[in-house]
Copies of this chain bind each other. A is one copy, B any other.
Amino acid sequence: MKRTSRDIRTANRYEVLRQIIAESPTSRQELAAATGLSLATVATLVGELLDLGMLTEVGFEDSAGGRPRGLVAVNASGGALIGVDIAETYVRVELFDLALNVLARADEDMRPGESRPVQVVGHVAAAVGSVVAQAGVEGARVLGVGVSVPGQVDRATGIAEYAPNWDWHDVPLLDLLSEHISYPLYLDNPLRACAVAELWFGAARGRGDAVVVNLGTGVGAGLALGGGLHRGVSNSAGEWGHTTLVLDGRLCHCGNHGCVETYVGAPGIMLNLRELSPRSPLLHPEDQTATIDALARGVAAQDPVAVKVVRDTARYLGAGIADLVNLLNPEVVVLSSWVAAALGEPLLEEVREAVARHALRRPLAATEIVLSPIPTDPVCLGAATFALEGALSSITQKAGQRNNRRTWSKQ
């Protein structure tokens, strides 16, 4: 698939806005230096973003002689973005300003079994209505809604092709949502949401190649390569959870045996615990979150069973991450999502040791392994970022036709 001039313009627009969000205020000259783009290109892109009201002029830089340089910053109130995290047991929705600050949040719990598409869509619609009302933004200011749903999704058609935990097959999720929500909608999955959040705002920002390892109920690896998300030819890249780690090992819901996910996803970690100590009080058989939290507290209290389970889990995880390091030679590997957040530093340390035992010297030396630095829900943030990217790529304005109207193409 060739990269067209249009793709390159869109990527440059991302790059410039990303840099401005990270460092505001800034000058066009600083942006050119930071992005490697020409000053003329930067000036054109900044002009577009100013016309759209996404940036604002904030005065001039002090300059020792020479012409003073104009400074621009994100116009935080120039629009709102909504991120939706549809998980197995809850729906969380956050509304952001254009500087990606959270202005409002709504959570909806889903009872076990409450997993029919129409039920899930009802929860999402209610929560989206709630955040818009809470934040008091005008509807016209909402630039888009990014929606993350587990499993394999077709972004182009808005179809949730396969969600293993709910047995969803080819659910036309965006069509269903658009009956309740009138803003532009963008569908993707949590793997890629976490990766794009790290790329714009987290540990992958400004790094050449990053792997964002997502540790939750499901497991995956979002790939941020060459400064952009690697989606693959049909937007399903990152399904690292179904990598064979133990040939003929544990049966996975994908039908394969020995997948990484069956050892390091939350249910896999519960099984690691059960195999070690079947009657452990740490085990809450029907509750993944409670079990992972109990393990975290156990490690903090130096409970030997908890320590051993985290070490065993890190051993599997380290072997798998070493494979990613050998294959992709990334600058950074980020551990993200709720299991990584709950097990934190003790897991990170064991993982670093395990990766060092398995990876080749040269790629290992070039790779840093870190916990995600994003303090809020990375899936909501990433989903909102998809909406931001969508808005940026739907700019139809031509450089020659610039005027003060704000022009967004319709979805």
Chain A interface residues toward B at CB < 8 A? 1-8, 15, 34-38, 41, 152, 161-162, 206-209, 221, 223, 225-228, 230-240, 242-247, 249, 254, 256, 316, 319-320, 322-324, 326-331, 357-358, 360-363, 365-367
Contact = CB atoms under 8 A, between A and B. Distances in A.
Given A226-B226, A233-B331, A233-B367, 17 more contacts: A1-B208, A2-B34, A2-B36, A152-B362, A209-B230, A225-B225, A225-B226, A225-B230, A234-B362, A235-B329, A236-B363, A237-B329, A239-B327, A239-B329, A239-B360, A244-B245, A244-B358
Nearest to A365: B234
A326 B322 CA distance: 17
A209 B226 CA distance: 13
A244 B363 contact: no
A323 B260 CA distance: 10
A206 B2 contact: yes
Given A8-B8, A208-B233, A234-B365, A243 B1 contact: no
Contacts of A254: 360
Contacts of A327: 221, 223, 237-240, 243, 324, 327
A234 B329 contact: yes
Contacts of A357: 256
Task: Point out which of A207, A237, A319, A323 has the most chain B C-beta atoms below 10 A from its C-beta.
Answer: A323
A360 B242 contact: yes
26 contacts: A1-B209, A2-B35, A2-B206, A8-B8, A209-B230, A225-B225, A232-B329, A232-B330, A233-B331, A233-B367, A234-B329, A234-B365, A234-B366, A236-B326, A236-B329, A238-B329, A240-B323, A243-B326, A243-B327, A244-B323, A244-B358, A246-B246, A247-B316, A247-B319, A256-B322, A324-B327
Nearest to A316: B247
A161 B7 CA distance: 37
B244 A320 contact: yes
Per CB-CB distance, the 9 closest pairs between chain A and chain B, nearest first, are: A232-B329, A1-B208, A4-B36, A234-B366, A237-B329, A239-B326, A233-B331, A243-B323, A236-B362
A328 B329 CA distance: 14
Contacts of A316: 247
Task: Point out which of A237, A244, A327, A331 has the most chain B C-beta atoms below 10 A from its C-beta.
Answer: A327
Nearest to A210: B233
Contacts of A319: 244, 247
Nearest to A242: B326
